[in-house]
Amino acid sequence: MFPKAPAGRYILNLLFILIVSCASPPPPQRQTYPLTPSIREIESLTKIKAMNERILMSALSKDNPYHEYRIGPEDLLEIFVFEDEKLNRVVRVNAQGDINFPLLGIVRIKGLTSSEVEREIRSLLTERYFQNPHVNVFVKEYRNQQISVMGAVEKPGVFDLTGEKTVLDALALAGGLKEDAGQLLFLIQPPRGKEVAPDDRAPKTFVIDLEMLLVKGDLTLNLPLIHGDVINVPVSGKIFVGGEVRNPGGFPLKGKRVTVSQAITMAGELKPEANGSEVKIFRYTGEGAEREILTVDARAIQKGRSEDIYLRENDIVIVPQSGVKVFLIGFRDTIKGLFGFGFSLGSL
């Protein structure tokens, strides 16, 4: 038997334990650190940065194949002939791209640069009236042109164009790409009117691979712009449907799995002239600019006779026209930039 400790000593021991426990340091708090971006996110941000640097450098560079302005309808020209002041004129280019010049009559100048117009007028005057005349041509007023840039750009909006501009110029005007910009750019051109060839009267959609244009430097994709053009840069994580559907464009996946038939439904269903049995899917293979081309029968899918395959991010679904020319006409009228993906129109 052990002797019992006095009650007072027990209380003192208990108080001592409580004081020591209170004086001891608190348990260390768990520190939290921000999540490190994934390798894929870092690569994406680095790529966007490189693309924006290319956009800026292109805007400042004069080595652009479309840098020198080409004259078009409604431009106002000032023309000087040193040998005869009576020939000096301010003339406006008509809708057909012609001017009416003294002694020469109608002169076709659409699509020419100022220096080319100078040579043309000089040549015509030399043939008939003067020996080695001196001609100067200046663009006094550019035709009123506006383009729209929307989607994953820093400053979307409507921009006035002065002189001939390209896709890179438009991206520079819009402040470059946002961090969530996708790899594809859609350039939608309006109908050009009755005075042009029949193939130019319908609206057209060009699909441009931004990596090919801005990282690989393929300037064949840096297309010239015309009045009324709309540029759309969808955010990443989308699929794209074009051709003979009612509402072509890009559609976000938002973590969902989307099939071919669902994508066509999102695009407003097939038009009556669509060739649903020859739908093409252009899929990035991960090797350079190459894309895999799949052919599916949307009509058979609708009837349950064919597999309704799932699409992947950045897949492009093109529904061609039906008829004798079948795919070539539908493809040509909807996509003109796909040669940037590793094949040309001539190979189809």
| Number of separate domains in the chain | 3
Within-domain flag for 28: no
Residues 334 and 258 in one domain: yes
**Residue 245: which of 225, 205, 273 has the closest Cα?**
273
Q: What is the pLDDT of residues 76-107, one digit of tens each?
A: 999 999 988 899 999 999 988 899 999 899 99
What pLDDT is attached to residue 292?
A: 85
What pLDDT is attached to residue 51?
A: 73
- What lies within 8 Å, CB to CB, of 87 at 6+ separation is 79, 81, 101, 102, 103
Q: Which domain holds residue 99?
A: 76-141
Distance, CA of 264 to CA of 203 (rounded, Å): 20
Q: What is the pLDDT of residues 188-199, one digit of tens each?
A: 888 765 555 555
What CATH number does the domain containing 56 carry? 3.10.560.10
Return the biggest CA–CA distance within the chain.
Answer: 141
Q: Using 70 as the pLDDT threshold, list the residues of the chain that sit under it.
A: 1-47, 57-68, 144, 192-202, 255, 285-290, 323-348
Mean pLDDT of the chain: 76
Q: What is the pLDDT of residues 263-311, one digit of tens each?
A: 999 999 999 889 999 999 988 765 555 678 899 999 999 999 999 999 9
What CATH number does the domain containing 101 carry? 3.30.1950.10
Residues 56 and 160 in one domain: yes
What pLDDT is attached to residue 136?
A: 94
Within-domain flag for 30: no
- What DSSP element (H or E) covers 48? helix 39-60
Where residue 299 falls (left for φ over 0; alpha for ψ -120 to 50; beta otherwise) is alpha
CA angle at residue 263 from 261 to 268, to 5 degrees?
A: 95
Cα distances (Å, whole numbers) of residue 83 to 77, 80, 88, 257: 19, 9, 10, 73
What pLDDT is attached to residue 340?
A: 44
Distance, CA of 244 to CA of 242 (rounded, Å): 7
What pLDDT is attached to residue 140?
A: 86
Size of the chain, expressed as the number of residues it contains: 348
Residue that terminates a domain, selected from 97, 118, 141:
141
Within-domain flag for 59: yes
Residues 259 and 346 in one domain: yes
Write b or e for each residue in 147-168: b if 16 or more Cβ atoms lie within 10 A of its Cβ, otherwise e: bbbebbbeebeebebeebbbbb
Residues 248 and 219 in one domain: no
Distance, CA of 24 to CA of 11 (rounded, Å): 20
DSSP string, 201-263: SS-EEEEEEHIIIIIS--GGG-PBP-TT-EEEEPBSSEEEEEESBSS-EEEE-TT---BHHHH
Residues 54 and 131 in one domain: no
Within-domain flag for 310: yes
Residues 229 and 263 in one domain: no
Within-domain flag for 200: yes
Distance, CA of 282 to CA of 290 (rounded, Å): 10
- Partners of residue 292 on adjacent β-strands: 283
Within 10 Å of residue 327's Cβ, how many Cβ atoms?
Answer: 19
Within-domain flag for 33: no
- Predicted TM-score (pTM) of the model is 0.50
